[in-house]
Chain A
């Protein structure tokens, strides 16, 4: 079974600084997708970034980038130039093919002004 582990229940960052959220996963598959979702208090699930396992290049989306280490089964999210609007729950997720998405326990990010 695939499991996703987020070892940081809470993280805090100063506005304009950089923060890294950790995620590890367990799978025996070679082809899969990894995601980071943001869930603000409104509880909408907002896709932040996605990574295809077959791609060696780390995905980036503006201030958000990932460090994908396939051999280590690690998928961390780096948020640069943190903004107050980045405060939210962040979920790491794994999906294989058209199967369901499995989520980590989440990391609550606080951004201090």
Chain B
């Protein structure tokens, strides 16, 4: 069964609203969670890395104020897309890591902004 749960799997919302995506590690405590973005027919691009209890580290070109990441516990990280616009429409995937475990991926969230 899935060891990383990501919700929602698909969300459609109006331009200007904020959307929160949750990523939970179910069977282990994730010291680090990663957030990726994937455009159609392209690879996964790392957006940010989050460690429990500390601020996320964002990749160059990723707007910190638009993509808010919170990693409040060892089993939960959230990505909030603030004031979303159509260009934010994409597939977002989280991944959870802990030493001695393979890196597990959530099933992804398809975000569509109208």
Contacts and interface: CB of A to CB of B under 8 A. Distances in A.
A77 B110 CA distance: 29
- Interface size class of chain B, counting residues whose CB lies under 8 Å from the partner chain: 20 to 34
Interface stretch (A41-49, A54-62, A78-86): A41-49
A100 B102 contact: no
Contacts, number: 41
A50 B105 CA distance: 15
A95 interface: yes
Nearest to B47: A100
A91 B46 contact: no
Contacts of A43: 38, 91, 93, 107-108, 110
A98 interface: yes
Nearest to A108: B41
Given A91-B44, A103-B43, A103-B44, A98 B99 contact: yes
Contacts of B95: 45, 101
A44 B105 contact: yes
A105 to B, nearest CB: 5
A45 B36 CA distance: 12
Contacts of B91: 43
B26 to A, nearest CB: 15
Nearest to B93: A45
Given A43-B108, A44-B108, A106-B43, A50 B49 contact: no
Interface of B: 31-32, 34, 38, 42-44, 46, 49, 91, 93, 95, 97, 99, 102-103, 105, 107-108, 110
11 contacts: A43-B110, A45-B95, A50-B102, A98-B32, A99-B49, A100-B46, A101-B34, A102-B46, A103-B43, A104-B43, A106-B43
